A and B are shown apart, each in its own frame.
Chain A
Amino acid sequence: MSLLKLVQNNTKSAFFRCNEPKIFLISSRKLSIVPSIYDGEDPAPKFFSSGIQILLKRLTRPDFAKVFRKRNNSNISVLRTPKYKFVTDEELRMEKLKADKSADRLLQMPPVVKVHKPIDDVLSIDPALIGYDSAKYLFTDISFGVDNEHRTIIERDPDGTLRSCDHAERKRLNQIYFPMQGRKIREPLIFQDEEKFHSLLDRLQYEYVLDRACVQYEPDEPTYHKLTSITYQHIDLKSMYDLLRSTRHFGPLAFYLTWHKSVDNLMLELLQSADVREAVLLLALRQALHGDLSSGEESSALVSQILPTPVQLTKKEQLSEEDIQLDTKCIECVDKYINTNSAMKSQQGLALQGFREHYQQLVELSRGLKKAHGAA
């Protein structure tokens, strides 16, 4: 596992990276980002474990207004007249459940897995076939009901060797015989051309880039890892996390940052936007992935209390006593983290202090209101 590849205007370390094989420097106008791939420990078991999935989903902060927004890439070319229904309470509940399910489908995270290993599987060698043809023969078994991963695709080389195809060829042939909508056989220009790719990132089209990458590449391809890591680092540098909230890409982003131990910027953003509960969830995620936090145990204990509370999309104006208790616990937990493990102590401390003062006012206000209404 290579360490954090985030290099902020630090050309010196970037040059060091250049010397390493497989990792190359992509320079943008202002920032230099070194792409990284999950090539060490396999992240898949941790990513797919139910506890982490729940944490990532909660961190996505799903706002249905954004999840079900009007999309330009949908199949509806012209608008349709809205439909109406009279429903009872029970039916409405069922409809909401159905909507939750479809939201889950829309928010399903692209998997985070290790880069695949090259396939090198020789089936037979027949030197008597040398000279039969100067071209390779690629054979695809198109039998019905076999999925792309398990399809038999083999090649007969001009030197008479029969071998299984490598991933690149497999992907190409699968796309030729079983085309996937939106995927191109030739790599799209935005991924080929660095200039174009970076201009997209500079225009903050993160979701578009990630969506296209999702369609074009398999999750275990090195190119996919490279492109997504550049995008995630770009977002991290610009602190544009809000653009990915309520989309399926926020989970992998949070996972990437936590995996590479560079959550401090995200933590700062959470504290500045007064989402102290999500900050604790982020700490719990870090604890689950690495287990190196001093406040780790407390944060994992708090998770079970935070998860049942509804997602906070807007700022609360009144607080109940349970809320106040939970939030003070969260503040303590985060405070401990800032003092012991954080790399951005002063900024995060300031943000937390600001949040505390604001919160104190809110607490007094809601307690005063309660008194005025008569505590019943």
Chain B
Amino acid sequence: MPLPPASGTGRYFVKAAKSIRLIRQGCTNRPFYHISVTHRRRLNSQAVIEQLGSYDPMPNTNNEKLVALNLERIKFWLGQGAHVTNPVGELLGLAGFFPIHPRSYMTAWRNRRTERENQAKAEKSTESTTTEV
């Protein structure tokens, strides 16, 4: 096996801090993430302890984003005191495994706001055009 498996090599220090994070695995212009548990101080390019799932941020033909989670192992690593990064926390929140992450609410609120603003702008521009005519 020429490269270490992306699913993890399984080697770790018991007392070192762990973190569950997204690790980018795709290529240029095509992001794809592994949800993996690794040492907190370790780089994303280094071999991970274990892969716990995957996340494809690009919607597929049916406009769906696919997330796979090995909940059994995630529970185990949470029990070992692993830290969960924000993006993973958001995904787990959306999945209903965690409470919804505050950042998700913030993003949703911001998106709604910008949409509202855009709508208002669009209405204004249409109104102005109609009055001019």
Physical contact A–B (CB less than 8 Å): yes
> Is A133 engaged at the interface, CB distance under 8 Å to the other chain?
yes
Identify which of A140-148, A215-223, A334-342 touches chain B.
A140-148
Asked whether, in the complex, the Cβ of B64 is within 8 Å of the Cβ of A135, the reply is yes
Name the one of B62, B69, B70, B96 contacting A162, with C-beta atoms under 8 angstroms. Answer: B96
> Is B104 engaged at the interface, CB distance under 8 Å to the other chain?
yes
Asked whether, in the complex, the Cβ of B94 is within 8 Å of the Cβ of A140, the reply is no
Within 8 A of A (CB), among B80-114: 91, 94-96, 100, 104-105, 107-109, 111-112
Asked whether, in the complex, the Cβ of A143 is within 8 Å of the Cβ of B64, the reply is no
Query: In the bound complex, how far is the Cα of B69 from the Cα of A135, in angstroms?
Result: 18
> Is A84 engaged at the interface, CB distance under 8 Å to the other chain?
no
Query: In the bound complex, how far is the Cα of B96 from the Cα of A141, in angstroms?
Result: 12
Query: In the bound complex, how far is the Cα of B94 from the Cα of A141, in angstroms?
Result: 13
Q: How far is the CB of A227 from chain B (nearest CB, A)?
A: 23
Identify which of A121-129, A204-212, A248-256 touches chain B.
A121-129
> Is B65 engaged at the interface, CB distance under 8 Å to the other chain?
yes
Within 8 A of B (CB), among A167-186: 173, 176-177
Asked whether, in the complex, the Cβ of B104 is within 8 Å of the Cβ of A129, the reply is yes
Contact A131-B112, Cβ < 8 Å, known A139-B94, A141-B71, A156-B95: yes
Asked whether, in the complex, the Cβ of B68 is within 8 Å of the Cβ of A143, the reply is no
How many residues of A are in contact with the other chain, CB < 8 A?
A: 29
Q: How far is the CB of A184 from chain B (nearest CB, A)?
A: 15
> Is B122 engaged at the interface, CB distance under 8 Å to the other chain?
no
Closest to B60 in A: A135
Asked whether, in the complex, the Cβ of B67 is within 8 Å of the Cβ of A140, the reply is yes
> Is A154 engaged at the interface, CB distance under 8 Å to the other chain?
yes
Query: In the bound complex, how far is the Cα of B65 from the Cα of A234, in angstroms?
Result: 42
Q: How far is the CB of B54 from chain A (nearest CB, A)?
A: 9
In the bound complex, residues from chain A placing their C-beta under 8 Å from that of B72 are 143-144
> Is A134 engaged at the interface, CB distance under 8 Å to the other chain?
yes
Asked whether, in the complex, the Cβ of A140 is within 8 Å of the Cβ of B108, the reply is no
Query: In the bound complex, how far is the Cα of B114 from the Cα of A134, in angstroms?
Result: 14
Asked whether, in the complex, the Cβ of A132 is within 8 Å of the Cβ of B111, the reply is yes
Query: In the bound complex, how far is the Cα of B83 from the Cα of A165, in angstroms?
Result: 30
> Is A136 engaged at the interface, CB distance under 8 Å to the other chain?
yes
Contact A141-B69, Cβ < 8 Å, known A131-B111, A132-B104: yes
In the bound complex, residues from chain B placing their C-beta under 8 Å from that of A155 are 64
Q: How far is the CB of B115 from chain A (nearest CB, A)?
A: 6
> Is B120 engaged at the interface, CB distance under 8 Å to the other chain?
no
Asked whether, in the complex, the Cβ of B95 is within 8 Å of the Cβ of A154, the reply is yes
Query: In the bound complex, how far is the Cα of B53 from the Cα of A176, in angstroms?
Result: 13
In the bound complex, residues from chain A placing their C-beta under 8 Å from that of B121 are none
Asked whether, in the complex, the Cβ of A136 is within 8 Å of the Cβ of B65, the reply is yes
> Is A362 engaged at the interface, CB distance under 8 Å to the other chain?
no
Asked whether, in the complex, the Cβ of A130 is within 8 Å of the Cβ of B66, the reply is no
Name the one of A132, A135, A139, A160 contacting B59, with C-beta atoms under 8 angstroms. Answer: A135
In the bound complex, residues from chain B placing their C-beta under 8 Å from that of A144 are 70, 72
Closest to B94 in A: A156
Asked whether, in the complex, the Cβ of B95 is within 8 Å of the Cβ of A139, the reply is yes
Q: How far is the CB of B103 from chain A (nearest CB, A)?
A: 10
* Residue contacts A-B, CB under 8 angstroms, 18 given: A126-B100, A128-B100, A129-B108, A131-B109, A135-B59, A137-B67, A137-B91, A139-B68, A139-B91, A140-B66, A140-B67, A142-B53, A143-B73, A152-B71, A156-B94, A156-B95, A160-B108, A176-B66
Known: A134-B63, A137-B95, A156-B96. 19 other contacts (CB 8 A): A124-B96, A126-B100, A128-B105, A128-B108, A129-B94, A129-B100, A132-B94, A132-B107, A132-B111, A135-B59, A136-B64, A138-B66, A139-B91, A139-B96, A143-B71, A144-B72, A152-B71, A176-B66, A177-B68
Complex A-B, nearest 10 residue pairs according to Cβ-Cβ distance, in ascending order: A132-B108, A143-B72, A131-B112, A131-B111, A135-B59, A139-B95, A136-B64, A156-B94, A131-B108, A142-B68
Q: Which residues of A contact B (CB under 8 A)?
A: 123-124, 126, 128-144, 152, 154-156, 160, 162, 173, 176-177
